[in-house]
Amino acid sequence: MNTSHYIGGRWVEGQGSDCINVNEPALGLPFAELMAASVAQVDQAVSAARQALTTWKRVCSQARAAYLRGFAEQLGQRREELIALQMRNNGKPRHEAEIDLDDAIATFAYYADLAEQLPSKNREVPLAAPGFTARTRLEPVGVVGLIVPWNFPLVTSAWKLAPALAAGCTVVLKPSEVTPLIELAYGQIADSLGLPAGVLNIVNGKAETGAALSNHNGLDKLSFTGSNSVGSLVMRSASAQCRPVTLELGGKSAIVVFDDCDPDQAVQWIVAGITWNAGQMCSATSRLLVQEGIADTLLPRLQAALQKLRVGNPLAEDVDMGPLTSQAQWLKVASYFATAREEGLHCLAGGQALDREGWFVSPTLYTDVPKDSRLWTEEIFGPVLCARRFATEEQAIAEANDSRFGLVATVCCADLARAERVADALEVGHVWINSIQAVFVETSWGGTKGSGIGRELGPWGLSAYQSVKHVTRCLG
């Protein structure tokens, strides 16, 4: 692929030093390659966005909404192509790839609606003091850098790109080098819609490209989703510029099962929370806290459910779980299996990489895991579930909150008053009660503690790309 970067409304060849191999994880083999963007090309992309900002921020919100609806419509028109690419490059089963696409479409449609509902740029502010008037304006933040991860490409970029465009920002998007292809669809759609040149720019590359973007002094804001280690570097570069950031980082989330819960329903929620996308989710509920009264009933059923999951190539088989997306992630998860053996953890299911072509591991369950185990405290980013028992509601809340992360949690409980009470006490950004992890564009996404800064989705996602200006005038 010789034209894998979209800069200033043109497709250009990469001029960087890195060659990116794009792999099919179910086979463990590359199927495409592209040259990364150079530092100079990142600079060109930021310059193009800066030049386009002057005009784009003055485009009426109704016109911006029309472009966003165009993105939603064209994503739908390319449905089969994009689903196939998600399955091939990410290893997602078809039902997951379909939901990803529907999520992206819904995001653009939602922010199109919000853009149309934006208040006039001037809103009067009543003042208690006589002799003055005041008005407020909502303005775009400016040029925004968007750095997105490999586990939910197309989706995470939609969560950032749609509200940024709705607010009147121009953007430079850097996809993950693991999954660089699917976001190119956004550039193709921009071309088809006649989106003004420079409003959307896409640069592919590895760490050098990401660093060039996050360190660029031409940005007004940076939004990053990824690991805590890279997020800290992004925040450090932002601090040097005193630049606002949105960071959506890691998680080590809890799922709390009380003994009045139906065990079969609980198993469904637990399995979905740890095996969706092969557990490669910052929101994976990888810490299972199960009340003593239901543990002996629940754990054998959970063991059986995990062992029955069909793991395989989503392009060749009807599967429940596909491979891990990269060899690096496969090696990382395998290293945690080795750590579990060293720590003497009790494994009820899985606990091994699968001996077949591709980057497959087995859905895994460890029980009675000590609180100081690395598997209990560290984000693994794979289908690895660790379980502990608790006696009281207070103990469940304390152990769920005993983490440096605070992204999400799930509560399984027939007593809805208790479920709501526990949800309110959990130190996280999003809680599900008696549910799979259903994420709706109208709700917020983001966490507390080490899970990040700021919120995406809902009206909060739009506000992240808006700046508030007040104008006060003396009448005397």
> For residue 153, which of 211, 202, 208, 216 has the smallest C-alpha distance?
202
198 torsion bin: left (phi>0), alpha (psi -120 to 50), beta (else): left
Cα Dmax for the chain: 82
Rounded to an integer, what distance in angstroms lies between the CA atom of residue 316 and that of residue 42? Answer: 38
Do 390 and 384 touch, CB atoms closer than 8 A?
A: no
Do 427 and 401 touch, CB atoms closer than 8 A?
A: yes
Pairing relationship of beta strands 405-406 and 448-449 according to DSSP bridges: antiparallel
Backbone angles phi, psi at 308, to 5 degrees: -85, -10
On the CB side of 238, CA atoms within 13 Å amount to: 19
Please state the length of the chain.
Answer: 476
Name the active-site residue from 24, 177, 183, 248: 248
Rounded to an integer, what distance in angstroms lies between the CA atom of residue 459 and that of residue 476? Answer: 38
Does the active-site annotation cover 379? no
Name the active-site residue from 282, 386, 412, 413: 282
Look up residue 274 and give its two tokens. Answer: 């740890």
The sign of the dihedral angle between the CA atoms of 108, 110, 116, 122 is negative
Burial 84-120 (b: 16+ CB within 10 A, else e): ebbbbbbbbbbebbbbbbebbbbbbbbbbebbbebee
Rounded to an integer, what distance in angstroms lies between the CA atom of residue 103 and that of residue 116? Answer: 20
E strand map for 113-229 = 123-124, 132-140, 143-147, 170-174, 200-202, 221-225
DSSP letter at 260 equals T
Quickly tell me which residue has 């994880």 as its tokens. Answer: 25
Does the active-site annotation cover 412? no
- Count Cβ atoms within 10 A of the Cβ of residue 254 and give its class: 0-12 exposed, 13-18 middle, 19 or more buried: buried
Task: Supply the residues annotated as catalytic.
Answer: 248, 282
